[in-house]
Amino acid sequence: MNDFDFLIGTWDVANRRRTDFLDGTSEWEEFRGVSRASRHFGGGANFDEIDFPDRGFAGLTLRLYDPATGQWSLYWASGRTGTLFPPVVGRFSGGRGEFYGDDTYEGTPVRARFIWSDITGDSARWEQAFSVDGEKTWLTNWTMVFTRR
């Protein structure tokens, strides 16, 4: 239940995101972020707020561990909309975390996947991908590279 302890602290975040999350030919945009994460419930909860100063918005993620299932539920909220998105659920195995959930993007139902990988004491990588065909194919549409401050 301490899988997200690596994230505690302040991070500089290099973002790379598609301008259209469902279009594999859309342009990539790059921008910076600053994330501040904290640990709660003895490691069974994790909270971070990320600010995107060049974009003028922020977001937050609440991560909750369920000891009965051994899985995490990750909830994202955007400061632009004030809404909590549906969770992605999953676990870590071999230093890699995979989390899946159902959502919509601009009215299109999507299966969302978050992957945490390349985790060290001073860096980590996160990526988001969407599937519109029942997980047959995935389109990675946002990546973040975290560097500890």
Residue 68 maps to which CATH number?
A: 2.40.128.20
Q: What Å distances lie between residue 101 and 85, 87, 90, 134, CA to CA? A: 10, 6, 9, 12
Task: Give the tokens for residue 4.
Answer: 């997200």
d(CA 130, CA 138): 5
Q: Which amino acid is at 79?
A: G
Q: What is the pLDDT of residue 86?
A: 94
Q: Give the pair of three-digit tokens for residue 64.
A: 């909750």
pLDDT at 1 over 90: no
Q: pTM score, two decimals?
A: 0.94
Q: Confidence band (pLDDT; 50, 70, 90) for 114?
A: very high
Residue 118 has pLDDT above 90, yes or no: yes
Split into its structural domains, the chain has a count of 1
Question: Can you give the pLDDT at residue 16?
Answer: 98
* Across 55-72, average pLDDT: 96
Region 101-107: mean pLDDT is 95
Provide the pLDDT confidence category of residue 26 given band limits of 50, 70 and 90: very high
Kindly tell me if the per-residue pLDDT of 143 is higher than 90.
Answer: yes
> What range does the domain containing 64 cover?
3-148
Residue pair 60/48 in contact (Cβ under 8 Å)? The answer is: yes
pLDDT of the residue at 84: 92
